[in-house]
Amino acid sequence: MNAFQVGFQGESGSYSEASARIQYPDPNYSFIPFRSFRELFEGVENSTVDLAVVPIENSTEGSVNETYDLLVEKPLYVIGEIYQKIHHCLIIDKNSSPDGISIVYSHPQALAQCRKYIQKKHLESIPMYDTAGSVKFIKETHNASAAAIASKHSAQIYDMKVVEEDIEDNSNNFTRFLIISKIYDSNADDNKISIIFSIPHTPGSLYSILQEFALRNINLTKIESRPTKNIPWEYYFFVDLEGNVNDDKISTSLLSVKTATIFFKLLGSYKKAEIR
């Protein structure tokens, strides 16, 4: 029997992989790395993997925009969420000296989350496709003047040296991940819903949508806008709300919203995750 496969973006040791392994500790699961978010989404779409774990937002640096854009584009669903506390480390080659470090590599989100530390150390930031990928890059290039910002686990995987731990600017640093699938099936214990919609570019159109939720006493936990990219200054709105899609109040409200929008997509319903 083939192992159940879970995809993630980045290299072994990335935060996405760590979240996936925590969520799916079954030894029969295998974890498959993809270099880019697009390749990862296409892997789910083409059934190369069964599920994928993707970052959607960070508590200090905000949204991962490419994830939002791909959720619009691809016929995939959100079936769960994960919150992970993020602790960054400064990592160098075992043969390097901390005093000789002048540049630091990492994913743009990680660099932003450690901005004050990087400035204090007078390091030049160079963005990479992944946190663990930056550790692997330094390992392979033997760059004595370079460091990476990544997890402690990634340093262990690539046999590298941790110079300093917990270098993130905010100690209360969390990333929210979504679990995406090609198959969607609502469950009785689902208590959170994600939707995407776009609205007419007319006065009061967004207000009428928000009023629909307010009048039915439905709590919105997040609202985010992204450009549609097709028409200048028009936007998609990503909304998370509490409830179950099978509740009459929720289903009636979503139907009313769908009727009032130009584009509407139910991303999925799932059980709200606890912040660990």
First to last CA, the chain: 33
CATH superfamily of 89-165: Periplasmic binding protein-like II (3.40.190.10)
Give the 3-state secondary structure of residue 34. Answer: strand
Q: Is the entire prediction scored with pTM above 0.75?
A: yes
Please state which CATH class domain 4-85+173-181 belongs to.
Answer: alpha beta
Instruction: Using 70 as the pLDDT threshold, list the residues of the chain that sit under it.
Output: 1-2
CATH of domain 192-270: 3.30.70.260
**Could you tell me which residues come within 8 angstroms of residue 103 by beta carbon, excluding any fewer than 6 positions away?**
123, 124, 125, 126, 145, 146, 147
* Domain limits, the chain: 4-85+173-181, 89-165, 192-270
- Asked whether the CA dihedral 25, 29, 30, 32 is positive or negative, the reply is negative
Active-site residue set: 175, 177
Residue range 204-239, pLDDT digits in tens: 899 999 999 999 999 999 999 999 887 788 899 999
Segment 243-275, tens digit of pLDDT: 999 999 999 999 999 999 999 999 999 999 988
Do domains 4-85+173-181 and 192-270 share one topology? The answer is no
Instruction: Give the span between the Cα atoms of 207 and 58, in whole angstroms.
Output: 27
